[in-house]
Structure 1
Amino acid sequence: MSGLFALLDDVAALVRLTAASLDDIAGAAGRAGAKAAGVVVDDAAVTPRYVQGLKPQRELSIIRRIAVGSLRNKLLFIVPAALLLSWLAPWLLTPILMCGGLYLCYEGAEKIWEKLSGHAPAPEETNAEAAADPVAHEKKVVSGAVRTDFILSAEIMVIALNEVATEAFLARAIILVAVAIGITALVYGVVALIVKMDDLGLLLADRESAAVSALGRGLVRAMPIVLAVLSVVGVVAMLWVGGHILLVGVDELGFHPPYALVHHVELLVHDATGPLGGVLGWLTNTALSAVVGAVVGAIVVAVLHLLPRKRAHH
């Protein structure tokens, strides 16, 4: 009987140890997710523009496919690659992340160039393409969204990985999987809510209550403006995240002046603005990172678009 009690004591101790470990993992996952919150906002701002112009009944289907692609990116490619690289070649994480940042700068700058040069496809052209071959058009939309999401997801997971770098390998893997699932559900849940808000408005507008009906009509009128603003925010977010990745990357690789200058200006604004110093300092860092992203992206756009055109002309 004493042996049975001893065994039960051991089991109870193991349960307590397991519970404590799970609490530690949950806490670390929460910290890692909070660290990546800035990029999560970017991801939520970028995605709604991909469903603009699509039929309302297809919006949730497209978002679901993008969400599945995002989760597949994280669980099948990004998390295993990040864990493997952090174990075998941690020095490769920064250059790989910088390549992703360069792509984000290029995509953001290309959207601006298309808008300014008039090369962006007109809504009529997009609608005609969708009407001619809706399956191919949706596949193209989902492919572009998942490709951009891959870069943002990689940034999120690397930020999370850096936050839990001191944890054991198994704990790191569990934390990254938890962050991947939680952040994907959060981002695409918010995106689905945003893009279907006008349908909710139409539903409320038919209610008998005057106040509820007015709220519904207000939502319907506001949503095109909200989506247009989010489209702009999405482009700015790509430039911001891409520029920030490049600034931090070159700093970690040993070239300190660019990021040191940005950080110095951020501290000046922080110290000069009193109670608002934290917010204004962060905004300063964000704005300067976006400027860097725009400049780098413009260079890439020029190399890929303008220079070949000039050679063809000559």
Structure 2
Amino acid sequence: MSGGLFALLDDVAALVRMSAASLDDVAAATGRASAKAAGVVVDDAAVTPRYVQGIEPQRELSIIWRITKGSLRNKLLIILPVALLLSAFLPWLLTPILMLGGLYLSYEGAEKVWEKVQERRGAGAHGDHGAAAQDDDEAAALDPAEREKKIVSSAVRTDLILSAEIMVIALDEVAAEPLWERAVILAVVAVFITVLVYGAVGLIVKMDDIGLALSKRSSSGVAALGRGLVKAMPVVLSTLSTVGVVAMLWVGGHILLVGTDELGWHGPYGLVHHAEEAVAAATGALGGVLGWLTNTAFSALVGVVVGAVVVAVMHVLPRRGAKAAGH
């Protein structure tokens, strides 16, 4: 009887050890998948604050919370099941889908660069900006509840694209894991990244209010900190926007390079990988970092070139054609 009990306890202990090992594997894979999607996460965090610009401060966190719930629905109820089905039955589609996402990211990054160039040249001042002003006027004319609904709906649609990219990148990193582990990892990544992104967005959006409140404190040190936060926020938002553009170009270009390599065209990524290894070997202790920066620079360059081609096709060429037709 006691022998049977000890055998049962041994079996239970073995199951516990196996479960712990599985959880360790899941945690490690989740970390890898989350890190791989970091570039898109930065972009997501950079994009979202603009949706609450011009909103009454007391409504900002409410809107961000509604967008957060929409993002979780996107990831857990739409993207996760579709991604698992694809990985189980059509795994060969993951690379082309991922490359489409890389193409989209490259286009978005290049388009933002193009818009900045156009702004500096003063082009489109009566066209695009006039349309934007009209959209703002229409939004302002809406009932506040309808306006918030429209803002949340637009943000959740944008989030669907970025979330799909995050989830497919994460899935590509753990495609060799068993199905149940893939499901758990993707669910954890979805929740973790959503909380991380929208928690950071909420903090960023309210940072000027926090600074304003601190600036009114009686302590001179705390008040100075508050004033510093208020002054720093425009710089923080501008920097975050720039980092988001760079991240889109880098991640998009890297996805395209790796995708072409996996589909059989080894030349482009082979060249980049060779350059990365050469720099790493030639720079000693800093080789790892400088090698990674080399890979990143080439990836961003690919993102810029490919994105510029798409921007030309989508915007520049049609506009020139319309002007030529007008003349």
Short-chain TM bin: 0.7 to 0.9
The one-letter code matched in structure 2 to 1:131 is A
- Contact 2:39/2:248 (CA < 8 Å) preserved in 1? no
Q: How does 1:23-38 map to 2 (within 5 A)?
A: 23-38=24-39
Unaligned 5+ segments in structure 2 are none
Q: How far did 1:63 drift?
A: 2.1
Q: Deviations over 1:35-91 (max 9, x none)?
A: 433443343333334434443333223322332222222112222122111111111
- Structure 2 residue aligned with 1:154: 164
- Structure 1 residue aligned with 2:81: 80
Q: Of 282, 292, 297, which residue of structure 1 is paired with 2:307?
A: 297
Q: How far did 1:229 drift?
A: 1.7
Q: Are positions 1:233 and 2:243 aligned together?
A: yes
Partner Cα distance (1:121, 1:138) in 2: 22
- Structure 1 residue aligned with 2:49: 48
CA gap of 1:251–1:18, structure 2 versus 1, over 3 A, is closer
- Structure 2 residue aligned with 1:121: 129
CA gap of 1:282–1:142, structure 2 versus 1, over 3 A, is farther
Partner Cα distance (1:64, 1:235) in 2: 25
Q: How far did 1:144 drift?
A: 4.5
Partner Cα distance (2:291, 2:161) in 1: 26
Partner Cα distance (1:175, 1:159) in 2: 12
Partner Cα distance (1:75, 1:295) in 2: 34
Q: How far did 1:246 drift?
A: 1.4
Q: How does 1:230-269 map to 2 (within 5 A)?
A: 230-269=240-279
- Contact 2:40/2:248 (CA < 8 Å) preserved in 1? no
- Contact 1:241/1:290 (CA < 8 Å) preserved in 2? yes
Q: How does 1:84-233 map to 2 (within 5 A)?
A: 84-117=85-118, 118-119=123-124, 120-121=128-129, 127-133=136-142, 138-139=148-149, 141-233=151-243
- Contact 2:43/2:245 (CA < 8 Å) preserved in 1? no
TM-score (norm 2): 0.83
Unaligned 5+ segments in structure 1 are none
- Contact 1:32/1:159 (CA < 8 Å) preserved in 2? yes
More divergent stretch after superposition (89-98 vs 59-68): 59-68
Partner Cα distance (1:2, 1:228) in 2: 70
More divergent stretch after superposition (94-103 vs 292-301): 292-301
The one-letter code matched in structure 1 to 2:180 is L
The one-letter code matched in structure 2 to 1:62 is I
Partner Cα distance (1:30, 1:264) in 2: 27
CA gap of 1:249–1:17, structure 2 versus 1, over 3 A, is closer
For the aligned residues, what is the CA RMSD? 2.9
Q: Deviations over 1:80-138 (max 9, x none)?
A: 12211111111100111111222222222222333333445378666534422355654
The one-letter code matched in structure 1 to 2:310 is V
The one-letter code matched in structure 1 to 2:42 is V
Partner Cα distance (1:139, 1:285) in 2: 42
More divergent stretch after superposition (91-100 vs 236-245): 236-245
Counterpart secondary structure, 2:176: coil
Q: How far did 1:174 drift?
A: 1.4
Partner Cα distance (2:162, 2:145) in 1: 26
Aligned residues: 314
Q: How far did 1:221 drift?
A: 0.6
The one-letter code matched in structure 2 to 1:180 is A
Q: Of 284, 287, 295, which residue of structure 1 is paired with 2:294?
A: 284
Partner Cα distance (2:21, 2:281) in 1: 41
- Contact 1:106/1:297 (CA < 8 Å) preserved in 2? yes
CA gap of 1:59–1:265, structure 2 versus 1, over 3 A, is farther
CA gap of 1:56–1:83, structure 2 versus 1, over 3 A, is same
More divergent stretch after superposition (161-170 vs 248-257): 161-170
Partner Cα distance (2:69, 2:289) in 1: 34
More divergent stretch after superposition (296-305 vs 92-101): 296-305
CA gap of 1:283–1:187, structure 2 versus 1, over 3 A, is same
The one-letter code matched in structure 2 to 1:214 is A
More divergent stretch after superposition (77-86 vs 263-272): 263-272
More divergent stretch after superposition (281-290 vs 132-141): 132-141
More divergent stretch after superposition (304-313 vs 115-124): 115-124
